[in-house]
Structure 1
């Protein structure tokens, strides 16, 4: 039995009212593992252009990189689509989920260029759809499917310089409630892992930064230079509520890859110029 490497991207599943695309990716990952697929690499968390006027919240797209029996390729794509359909935030017109699946091999230069521009400037849905058709990338669109842009970018973006984030997710019955995390354990973790993890606390404000302030499924996330340090830091936090699942993402967070050097005459709306 032969195997294929699948790169499956997801974007635009959340809203300001809830959900998180990284959670959708985590559930999809576990669904694929239960089907018998294996991870070929860490899943990717790609922060797209932060100036994009259409972003739902944090503008993160995710991609899963899986080793898949050739006979299960169609079932794998269907499984991810089902997870997205189950979990995306309904009732918000700006939430337009998209899924994209690229078969393994080197990433064509045209796709790499598209992904780079999705991180640094504004790209159009029509371009993403045309690229997907030209490169035989399977897509699924919901409510217009503008998320195909991010999904395609996530499966095409090459994470050179990168960091990691280990994320713990809440059980569904706790979504939307106050997160129960021992604050002192976060400060202690930051003290012990300083230099290997980052952005855990704001000492001036006395604020814990590993926990979000939205009603999304994320309980806490620790960002680090290595996957091992991210997991170690997360494991040092004392959670006072159940953890549903944990996933480690390789990401372009904290790399400033969204910034580009531009001359004044080259500036365009929504470009992250320096």
Structure 2
């Protein structure tokens, strides 16, 4: 049976991943694949912090081969590998006792009395179509649309409040896992609590020492990016491409700091995959709330405006598009500020109201910079002086000439730019992973 949950937290507290952790801990002997943390459309106004939805797969395990995926109260959580079957044959009837237990866990831990917290819980004996996942990355899906799908598939679902969470719950189950990364989350309920800065740095450096991890630290600033604000049960989260490396990192942390050896779990995720990015082909129209890869030419110089946000313009085909890098991206804006008219660029980001919110940028081919100079008189060879309107007059004979343009020695290189790790979106693929090999076999874990 598939279990999907979403929209249980608020902007200031709670965490849906922790509820998934509690469900997995409760049914540890029946978990048959890694729990899934699936990030959806980052542009929706009613999202909480990262727009992440969770799903879990439960079945009757018969295989002896098991792999440890975490610990709950110091006891190992393991799952049985399902390498020999693509989609297990789940029973057509539902386990009502299990359903009530899951609902009870959600009701215990979700953020109550929050207007924008509207949990949805979904139970399905079959995986949902991948198109639902794609739609959930690219647009705003109505609750009614998902409810119709649930009714047609004889799925069971529970709504709290408006129940908007059923959208993410179904979309998480529908994730195709064409690109998979992993995240190890360490918990302390109800809040992660204070962690000394020196301890944070040591843990960050342990994670950073593995080539397969990403978004651990911002080395230029020495800032550790694994520890969220102390408002949820998450102490830290370590992201990587290799499952076994995350297990090894946690063991290294445990050897130094045994207090972190009690509650943690690894999730399969779509984080850092650019799954939300659509390649903008010729003739395509930009759609509100979708995210794109766009190649064009800078046609308006970068300018900082009130609040520190940096704006510039690009020409895509015959279309003029504004681009913005927001203040929290810090030094990223300093690099973008060096762009020149005519630079050939590829940028990635979400589109809304005529503006691309930049997640990263590649300078494919810098424009050639020319310097305007006063020409020597073509008649007598004397100096000329600027008389305005791009005209120059010979001081000696009065001959009027156009300015001279000379290629400068200023050489600019192609480059790939991105915000610091702490300012990146969950889904955005860091340049470090550009040529990475992502796991694609959903049933390997």
So what's the TM-score if we normalise by structure 2? Answer: 0.55
- The residue number in structure 2 matching 1:250 is 268
Deviations, residues 89-140 of structure 1 (Å, cap 9, x unaligned): 1121001000111114xx45xx321121102222111111111111111111
Q: Are 1:226 and 2:242 an aligned pair?
A: yes
Q: Are 1:136 and 2:154 an aligned pair?
A: yes
Choose the corresponding residue for 2:47, options 44, 55, 70: 55
- C-alpha separation between the residues in 2 aligned to 1:122 and 1:268? 11
SS in 2 for 1:266: coil
Deviations, residues 205-264 of structure 1 (Å, cap 9, x unaligned): 221111111410001111111211112223333448555411110010000101112457
- The residue number in structure 2 matching 1:169 is 187
- The residue number in structure 2 matching 1:268 is 287
So what's the TM-score if we normalise by structure 1? Answer: 0.87
Per mean C-alpha deviation after superposition, the further-off stretch among 23-32 and 180-189 is 180-189
- C-alpha separation between the residues in 1 aligned to 2:160 and 2:240? 34
Q: Are 1:210 and 2:226 an aligned pair?
A: yes
Change beyond 3 A, Cα 1:76–1:53? same
Per mean C-alpha deviation after superposition, the further-off stretch among 259-268 and 59-68 is 259-268
TM-superposed CA distance for 1:57, in Å, is 1.5
Query: If you compute each CA radius of gyration, which structure gives the higher value, 1 or 2?
Result: 2
- C-alpha separation between the residues in 1 aligned to 2:27 and 2:228? 27
Per mean C-alpha deviation after superposition, the further-off stretch among 59-68 and 240-249 is 240-249
Per mean C-alpha deviation after superposition, the further-off stretch among 71-80 and 138-147 is 71-80
- C-alpha separation between the residues in 2 aligned to 1:261 and 1:153? 21
Deviations, residues 42-95 of structure 1 (Å, cap 9, x unaligned): 111100111111112210001001114968721222111111100011121001
Gaps of 5+ in 2: 62-90, 294-445
- The residue number in structure 2 matching 1:98 is 120
- C-alpha separation between the residues in 2 aligned to 1:112 and 1:246? 29
Higher relative CO (Cα under 8 Å, sequence separation at least 6) belongs to 1
Choose the corresponding residue for 1:151, options 165, 169, 190: 169
Choose the corresponding residue for 2:203, options 159, 176, 186: 186
- Higher percent of residues as helix: 1
User: Structure 1 runs of 4+ off > 6 angstroms?
Assistant: none
Count of residue correspondences: 259
SS in 1 for 2:172: helix
- C-alpha separation between the residues in 1 aligned to 2:276 and 2:230? 24
TM-superposed CA distance for 1:153, in Å, is 0.6
